[in-house]
Amino acid sequence: MLGQDVRSAAQDAGHESIALARAELDIADPTAVRAALADARPDAVVNCAAWTNVDRAETEETAATRVNGAGAGYVARAAAELGAWTLQVSSDYVFDGQAREPYLESSPTAPLSAYGRSKLAGEVAVAAAAPAAHTIVRTSWLFGVAGPCFPATIRRLAAEREELTVVDDQVGCPTFTGHLARALVELAETRPAGIVHVAGGGQCSWFQFAQAIVSACELSCHVQPGRTEDLARPAPRPAYSVLGTERGAEVPRLPDWRDGLSDYLAVGVTSV
């Protein structure tokens, strides 16, 4: 989802880009990573590959960390060997969700879940492998055209049902991958070192996000608030994962999440 948008954004910005799917490159294979980057000779590498099944990671943490942790380090090390800059996409799940004001780049990390621990391991691995040539980009609640996502699911379910219950006790920053991709390309050009936070502007709960989706799609389904504890999901979720930044003008600001939703729907996606 994000990778396809980054490829398009890079091309729109006039850059030559090479996009490798998982079938073409397993980032958890260091030999394959080194060979692929040596062949491409990139100026910058944006790592959009990730284990994203949050619940499954609870029982398969070793496998998740192999990709999100070690794999991220392999990419950064191979890029650094060629003099290329690494952009590593990380997550709001590195935080515990106990804050009541936006998390900044310097905020202490304390992941609640195996997925969060695996993403934090990736941050550590990238910083160690390419200490002078990396940008770690924490973002949150991604949705986009090129894959299953929350707006597509809500759109489909709301067309099928008269009522939906969506949790109202998790708050974050929905981020349209089309907007994030352009920011990642900009960061690949400007190369601020270290950690940056880039997410959709504003904040909302999943319930509020669902309400906005149903309203924008002009569906008659009634959306009511629910509680996370009633879902009994294997992995704990941060209750509050709003991201802010203390990095100033060097960090791109994304449009409000509502604008992201509008741009997503304007593409005319088919529900999945």
Catalytic residues: 115
Q: Is the distance from CB of 244 to CB of 199 less than 8 angstroms?
A: no
Contacts of 196 (CB under 8 A, 6+ apart): 105, 135, 136, 137, 138, 187, 245, 247, 250, 251
44: closest CA among 183, 188, 181, 182?
188
Class of residue 101 by CB neighbours under 10 A (exposed 0-12, middle 13-18, buried 19+): exposed
- Name the pairing type of β-strands 204-205 and 171-172: antiparallel
Q: Tokens in use for 112?
A: 């609640």
Rounded Cα distance, 17 and 14, in Å = 9
Residue 258 CA neighbour count, 13 Å, CB half: 8
Specify the DSSP element, H or E, that contains 50.
Answer: none
